[in-house]
């Protein structure tokens, strides 16, 4: 059983007597904040033996490389989808056109083309395949088991292959990534629109019906019964 969960920004630390696990690693520019949070708990980067990515938006995987000893657990399908997305939009002079292939609900969401172009420019500064980690360090969530006490929950919608992590603490906790952005559904969170709004809503509802404590991607932990 894993215990000792703690939360900072879009990063969660889970520990027990044998493992030190960081679930999601934040934006690359938040590296010092993450290291300070670990230091406050008496840990340094070499103490972390596993990093888990719920998905590969830049604000959830930007500091994977801070942990030189850690195995990096992620979805192979999520990585392939993410690499294809960034390759396509970075190569195009009209990213607002190309992005619709990956986010088909962009037109109905009313996102202005100039906004998509601005986000693409920012992503060029923030995204690097190298920051995710080298493949020899990867452990694919589709084929490998996490340590006892951590279970993968498929939670598609925000991205097609998004996952959440059930932590067998006492009481159990769900680290939801961006499957649940915040306690309030109406909270203003700066992130990508869902890949599928229907899937995202259904996934969020399922997690809120779990009755467990949820650690959302961009808010403090809350009891599922308190979500709105």
- Residue 110, sorted as left (phi over 0), alpha (psi -120 to 50) or beta, turns out to be left
**What are the structural domains of the chain?**
3-76+129-226 (3.60.15.10)
pLDDT confidence of 43, banded at 50, 70, 90? Answer: very high
Residues of the chain with pLDDT > 90: what percent? 89
Mean pLDDT over residues 216-227, rounded?
A: 91
| 43 CB neighbour count, 10 Å cutoff | 16
Q: Which of 186, 188, 152 is nearest to 76 (CA)?
A: 152
Cα dist from 47 to 27, 42, 43, 75, whole Å: 20, 10, 6, 23
pLDDT attached to residue 6: 54
| 26 CB neighbour count, 10 Å cutoff | 23
pLDDT attached to residue 1: 38
pLDDT confidence of 190, banded at 50, 70, 90? Answer: confident
Residue 184 burial (10 A CB sphere; 0-12, 13-18, 19+): middle
- Beta pairing, strands 173-177 & 50-52: unpaired
pTM: 0.94
The rounded distance, in Å, linking the Cα atoms of 71 and 3 is: 19
CA-based max dimension of the chain? 51
131-46-163-15 Cα dihedral, nearest 10 degrees? -160
pLDDT confidence of 3, banded at 50, 70, 90? Answer: very low
- Tokens representing 54 are 């719920």
pLDDT digits (tens, 9 = 90+) for 96-146: 999 999 999 999 999 999 999 999 999 999 999 999 999 999 999 999 999
pLDDT digits (tens, 9 = 90+) for 54-90: 999 999 999 999 999 999 999 999 999 999 999 999 9
Residues contacting 40, CB < 8 A, separation 6+: none
Residue with tokens 């596993």: 50
DSSP for 152-199, written as a single string = EEE--SSSTT-EEEEE--SS-EEEEETTS--SSTT----SPPPS-HHH
| 99 CB neighbour count, 10 Å cutoff | 22
pLDDT confidence of 189, banded at 50, 70, 90? Answer: confident
pLDDT attached to residue 50: 98
Residue with tokens 């959440």: 164
pLDDT at 8 over 80: no
């Amino acid at each position: 059983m894993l215990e000792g969960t703690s939360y900072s920004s879009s990063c969660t630390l889970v520990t027990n007597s044998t493992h030190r696990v960081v679930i999601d690693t934040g934006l690359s520019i938040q590296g010092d904040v993450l290291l300070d949070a670990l230091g406050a708990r008496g840990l340094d980067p070499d103490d972390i033996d596993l990093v888990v990515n719920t998905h590969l938006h830049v604000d959830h995987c930007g500091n994977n490389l801070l942990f030189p000893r850690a195995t990096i657990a992620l979805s192979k399908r999520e990585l392939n989808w993410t690499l294809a997305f960034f390759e396509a939009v970075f190569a195009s002079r009209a990213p607002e056109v190309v992005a619709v292939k990956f986010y088909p609900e962009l037109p109905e969401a009313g996102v202005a083309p100039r906004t998509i172009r601005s986000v693409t420019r920012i992503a060029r500064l923030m995204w690097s395949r190298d920051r995710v980690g080298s493949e020899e360090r990867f452990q694919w969530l589709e084929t490998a088991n996490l340590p006892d006490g951590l279970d993968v929950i498929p939670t598609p919608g925000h991205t097609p292959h998004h996952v959440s992590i059930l932590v067998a603490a006492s009481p159990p906790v769900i680290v939801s990534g961006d499957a649940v952005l915040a306690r309030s559904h109406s909270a203003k969170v700066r992130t990508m629109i869902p890949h599928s709004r229907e899937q995202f809503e259904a996934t969020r509802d399922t997690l809120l019906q779990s009755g467990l404590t949820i650690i959302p991607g961009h808010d403090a932990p809350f009891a599922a019964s308190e979500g709105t």
